[in-house]
Amino acid sequence: DAGVTQSPTHLIKTRGQQVTLRCSPKSGHDTVSWYQQALGQGPQFIFQYYEEEERQRGNFPDRFSGHQFPNYSSELNVNALLLGDSALYLCASSLGRGGIVFFGPGTRLTVL
Amino acid sequence: AQTVTQSQPEMSVQEAETVTLSCTYDTSESDYYLFWYKQPPSRQMILVIRQEAYKQQNATENRFSVNFQKAAKSFSLKISDSQLGDAAMYFCASHGSISSGSARQLTFGSGTQLTVLP
């Protein structure tokens, strides 16, 4: 049973660039959430996708956007990258909005 | 809105001993869920234990158990017979019920780094 997978593992970008991170949910899961984890801190909720729509959003600017595809996989897009966007980005999936949440291994984004 | 506070940035325990990690939370919701996640150096976030707030019985998973004090809004994690593989960052987290609008939006504490000494 495949768990949550994310790509790429690591990414280096420069300020002002745009980045796309990808996530495939655990088999059988249909809900995907994204979290940002800065070094030494707990993860912060970015948004959640269910039935291909953004259902809930945390306190993140519009530079952060996402998408969910019919196969439940998801993308996180960040525009106009800032140094402060450097973090580990975690994807999490669940079965329905009420299921137990499982996390992927994360994508480490470094903005120079 | 929910807040989760972990007041112990670092803890250490001798192998085979017992350690308790503290967590307090605040929520205005009557129905909510509490979790402990473990994040080893690999950075993979792993669910350790889960507690539904409406259940009075404390959750237990093998060597891991919680002390859930609802009135005090306290949710501590006890690790018995500590093993070297238990060394990790431990996060306390919570979310509300699906009807509350904050469904499955996990709110995390700042974490406790646990060191297991051989």
Q: What percent of chain B has pLDDT over 70?
A: 94
Contact between chains at A42 and B98 (C-beta distance less than 8 A): no
Query: Of B77, B109, B93, which Cα lies nearest the Cα of B34?
Result: B93
CA atoms of A65 and B118, how far apart (whole Å) = 46
Of A47-56, B11-20, B102-111, the poorest mean pLDDT is in B102-111
Q: What's the CA gap between B69 and B79, in Å, rounded?
A: 17
With CB atoms and an 8 Å threshold, state whether A90 touches B106.
no
Which pLDDT value is given to residue B103? Answer: 58
Q: Contacts by A42-48 with C-beta closer than 8 Å and gap 24+?
A: A42/B4, A42/B91, A42/B93, A42/B108, A42/B109, A42/B110, A42/B111, A43/A90, A43/B45, A43/B91, A43/B106, A43/B108, A44/B108, A45/B105, A45/B106, A45/B107, A46/A76, A48/A97, A48/B104, A48/B105
Q: Do A100 and B42 touch (CB under 8 A)?
A: no
Q: Please provide the distance, in angstroms rounded to a whole number, between the alpha carbons at the two ends of chain A.
A: 37
Chain B interface mutation, best of A4, A97, A101, highest count of B Cβ atoms under 10 Å: A101
Residues of A in Cβ contact (< 8 Å) with B44: 103-106
Query: Please, is A85 exposed, middle or buried when counting C-beta atoms within 10 Å of its C-beta (0-12, 13-18, 19+)?
Result: buried
- At residue A100, the pLDDT reads 84
Q: Read off the DSSP letter of residue B43.
A: -
CB contact under 8 A, B105 and A58: yes
- A35 part of contact set with chain B, CB < 8 Å: yes
Q: Chain B: residue nearest A42 by CA?
A: B110
pLDDT in tens, B56-99: 899 999 999 999 999 999 999 999 999 999 999 999 999 877 66
The predicted-structure confidence for A64-87, as pLDDT tens digits, reads as follows 999 999 999 999 999 999 999 999
The pLDDT score that the predictor gives to residue A1 is 66
- Tell me the per-residue pLDDT of A11-58, one tens digit each, with 9 for 90 and over: 999 999 999 999 999 999 999 999 999 999 999 999 999 889 998 899
Chain A / chain B CB contacts < 8 angstroms: 60
- Assess whether pLDDT exceeds 60 at residue B102: no
| Residues in chain B within 8 Å Cβ distance of A90 | 45
End-to-end CA distance of chain B: 41
Q: How confident is the model at residue B29 (pLDDT cuts 50, 70, 90)?
A: confident
Q: Which residues pair with B117 in a beta bridge?
A: B14
The pLDDT of residue B100 is: 61
